[in-house]
Amino acid sequence: MDFTLSEEQKMLVETLRTMGERENFKELAKRIDETCEFPSAINAILAIEELAKFSPMIAAPVFESNVGPVRVIDLFGSEEHKKRLIPGVCAGEMSVSVCMTEPEVGSDLTSLGTRAVEDGDSYILNGRKSFITGGGHASHYMVYTRFGESKGYKAIGGLLVEKGMPGFSFGKQERYMGLHGMPSCDLFFDDVRVPKKNLIVPPGDFGKLMWTFDIERCGNAAMCLGVAGGALDAAKAYAMERNAFGKLICEFQAVQFLVVDMATKLDAARLLVYRAASGAGQGLPSIYEASMAKAYANEMVVEVTDKAMQVFGGYGYSSEFPVERMYRDAKAWGVAGGTLQMLKIGVAGMIFGRRFDQRR
């Protein structure tokens, strides 16, 4: 194999080295080592937002290593799991996918049908998962499954399945409207023997697990801030260089109002997302704050990218310019990580102080 770095790779290394020195990462590393504290959640959110201004694909590694499913291992895994996975994920050598959705079950997760049955010192896993981000590409899979025959959420837990385990296979790459370049596919479990030591979330801890998922929701919302921020920057720049009726279009009040609405909605979303992430501190965000922030940011990013396309006129609809891609990327976030409707149902329950049972 040829390990010679390309010019681009050399530049990347140089940029990271300079950034490390400028930001005094040596001191940060010492502090983390001494205090044993995970860096504040808000730092990851800021990094995701900045990188997602270019593309969510560029922000994906920061998302994965800071707010992705690896945090389930961080919070629930044994010391052995943590040592085995976290450094590898942070180094970009390993990745973990979260596997909840099934062909017949998405929002109604507690009806999932994937099943793990005890057999000696292993579980035998059977089932199918859909729309799994990182599918085929990730080294590890946090699979949410039913243990035994009982119905309802109490029998659901999480097993860590490794790529290459016999009986574990992948479907074809999903073709999405946006987020091109993101690996995603169905997973098939056909009598996969998973050692009992790979049980990360025992059945009964499903509630706690959903809470952990709120970290990922803050990451999802940060992606929305980034995409919307990228669209706002592009629209502003375009409005300051495009002429109509002998004037720059930024001089028309109708265009100004489009841009003002974009900036206002983006700022409002940012305040909600930062509140949720800062509130999390070293732990978990409040479900109320994270759900509200994600739902608002999910709607905001679609509106902002839509308005950016409008500022660009015909060029907004052309793939020669980035805003149509941003609009396509924007649409994903209100479904991924829980639909807008399901999040709002959860928030409504907290506002009214009672649970609204969706089955009755």
Ligand X SMILES: Cc1cc2nc3c(=O)[nH]c(=O)nc-3n(C[C@H](O)[C@H](O)[C@H](O)COP(=O)(O)OP(=O)(O)OC[C@H]3O[C@@H](n4cnc5c(N)ncnc54)[C@H](O)[C@@H]3O)c2cc1C
Q: Where on the chain is the footprint of ligand X (CB under 6 A)?
A: 97-101, 106-108, 131-133, 176, 179, 332, 335-336, 338-339, 341-342, 345, 358
Minimum gap (Å) between residue 153 Cβ and ligand X: 15
d(CA 325, CA 347): 31
Cβ(182)–Cβ(176) below 8 Å: yes
| Joined tokens for residue 259 | 């841009």
In this chain, which residue has its C-beta nearest to ligand X?
106
Minimum gap (Å) between residue 342 Cβ and ligand X: 5
Identify the three-state secondary structure at position 238: helix
User: Which lies closer to ligand X via its Cβ, residue 66 or residue 101?
Assistant: 101
d(CA 357, CA 360): 6
User: Which lies closer to ligand X via its Cβ, residue 13 or residue 177?
Assistant: 177
d(CA 118, CA 148): 8
| Joined tokens for residue 174 | 């999903």
Beta strands in the chain (DSSP E): 96-99, 115-119, 122-133, 140-147, 156-162, 168-170, 184-195, 199-201, 243-244, 247-248
Minimum gap (Å) between residue 91 Cβ and ligand X: 21
Minimum gap (Å) between residue 298 Cβ and ligand X: 11
**Sequence-ordered list of residues with C-beta below 8 angstroms from that of 297, at least 6 positions apart, any chain:** 220, 221, 222, 224, 225, 228, 269, 272, 273, 333
Minimum gap (Å) between residue 240 Cβ and ligand X: 33
User: Which lies closer to ligand X via its Cβ, residue 156 or residue 258?
Assistant: 156
Q: Which one-letter DSSP state was computed for residue 113? A: -
User: Which lies closer to ligand X via its Cβ, residue 250 or residue 345?
Assistant: 345
User: Which lies closer to ligand X via its Cβ, residue 77 or residue 338?
Assistant: 338
Minimum gap (Å) between residue 190 Cβ and ligand X: 19
| Joined tokens for residue 234 | 């592009």
User: Which lies closer to ligand X via its Cβ, residue 132 or residue 192?
Assistant: 132
Minimum gap (Å) between residue 135 Cβ and ligand X: 8
User: Which lies closer to ligand X via its Cβ, residue 286 or residue 339?
Assistant: 339
